[in-house]
Amino acid sequence: MESFDTNFSIVCWDKSAYGNYFDNYEALTSHTTRANRGLSVVSYYSGCFSIIYQTSKMILNQEQLSFFKVNGYLMLPKMLASGLCEKACELLWSSLPEESKIKREDPSTHIGPFTEKDLEDDVTNLRQGYKWQLRSIGTDQLLIDLVYSETLQQIAEDLLGKDTLVEPKVGGKTMGQHGAAWPGGPVDPALDNEGARGIYATLPYGDKEKEADYCHTDGHPFNLGLVGLIDDVLPDGGALKIWPRSHSRLYPTFQMQYDQPRIPFYPDMPKFKGLIQSLEYEKEITKILKDTKPVDCWGSVGDVVLFHHRIAHMAGHNYTNKIRQAVLYDFKKKDLDESRTKPPQDDMWGDWSESLKSVSETYSEETAKSQRLP
């Protein structure tokens, strides 16, 4: 096989040797062009997989960097391998008890809320109302391979800086393992978490009356969030909703860069989050709800959305007949424990990548349209 470019070398393997890890090579190539990529590129040619190596360069282009800087989020299609997404879905479904009334093969049983027989208050495998959160598998090899691929790691470094990331730990501590999975508990579960948050699902609402949107910011410390779809999600199907540009409005209302004050944990109120919000925050997020139209980040299996820690968002209401299934991950910098309690900087991008700090805040209408910007 001949090389596509003099800057590339090509190594060929038989598909069977790598199995499911390369069964969706499109997920690894959809954002890769030979002109500006700095990672292994997988392509399919004459019945075998080709791994093309290139010198280290950025994956995100200037328009994508600009859009993220201005709006606080970035949607990227087909970033998760479909084979791993399917296996992740299987893990979620296998966590149900055998006697569960919800049957994977029967969509008519998927309508929420959970019946009393299926309720579970263990925060590592929570099933309450329409919410289903499987956190116990957050440090399984499969979940880490899914959310911390070479491609996604490189993209996170494009935003946060090269060699700055804390790597997830296979078999490490999972979110919620110490009890209540939110700030205010006896141990800060998110800072203690060494893998993905887990798989988060939302049951269809069925005939439930439509509700108004609300939004919040995450209380636990991290730098860059990721939500990845492990199954197709339709519009109004429970996908992440983002309030564009809210990150820059809310950032200065916090007392700390990546954390916030909390009241003490009370054993008799294990579900109280204990977060202390400033009056400025409450006023600003109320304004955001009134003056900003949210973006519904629905999409196809493998699509991801990256978001700034201070972006206003919510898990959307699910008015379809399909369960929303997604994997969540928090990218953290190595200096997070040191920087999280410092006051907000005058330049909110001061500890992000040089490329992001220096990029202009302009982008094309085509880019805005691709990101569903209202």
The domain boundary, picked from 57, 77, 100, lies at 57
pLDDT computed for residue 105 by the predictor: 95
Please tell me the predicted confidence (pLDDT) of residue 12: 35
pLDDT at res. 187: 44
Match 């199954």 to its residue by tokens. 231
| Whether 35 and 172 share a structural domain | no
Peptide bond into 244 cis (omega under 30): no
**pLDDT at residue 123, rounded to an integer:** 83
249 shares a domain with 278 = yes
Tokens at 300, concatenated: 């196809």
**Residue 132 β-bridge partners:** 127, 201
pLDDT at residue 266, as a whole number? 54
Same domain, 24 and 119: no
Q: Are residues 29 and 172 in the same domain?
A: no
Does residue 152 share a domain with residue 36? no
State which of 41, 57, 73 marks the end of a domain.
57
pTM, whole model, 2 decimals?
Answer: 0.83
Q: Taken in order 134, 139, 140, 145, is the CA torsion positive or negative?
A: positive
Structural domain tally of the chain? Answer: 2
> Do 187 and 329 reside in the same domain of the chain?
yes
Q: Same domain, yes or no, for 236 and 354?
A: yes
3-state secondary structure the chain: CCCCCCCCEEEEEEHHHCHHHHCCCHHHHCCCCCCCCCCCEEEEECCEEEEEECCCCCCCCHHHHHHHHHHCEEEECCCCCHHHHHHHHHHHHHCCCCCCCCCCCCHHHCCCCCCHHHCECCCCEEEECCEEEECCCCCCHHHHHHHCCHHHHHHHHHHHCCCCECCCCCCCCCCCCCCCCCCCCCCCHHHHCCCCCEEEEECCCCCCCCCCCCCECCCCCCCEEEEEECCCECCCECCEEECCCHHHHHHHHCCCCCCCCECCCCCCCCCCCCECCCHHHHHHHHHHHHHCCCEECCECCCCEEEEECCCCEEECCECCCCCEEEEEEEECECCHHHHCCCCCCCCCCCCCCHHHHHCCCCCCHHHHHHCCCC
Supply the CATH number for residue 318's domain.
Answer: 2.60.120.620
Spans of the chain below 70 pLDDT: 1-56, 178-191, 263-274
Q: Are residues 65 and 53 in the same domain?
A: no
- Whole-angstrom Cα distance, residue 239 to residue 303? 11
pLDDT in tens, 14-67: 333 333 433 443 444 333 333 333 444 443 333 344 333 333 578 999 999 999
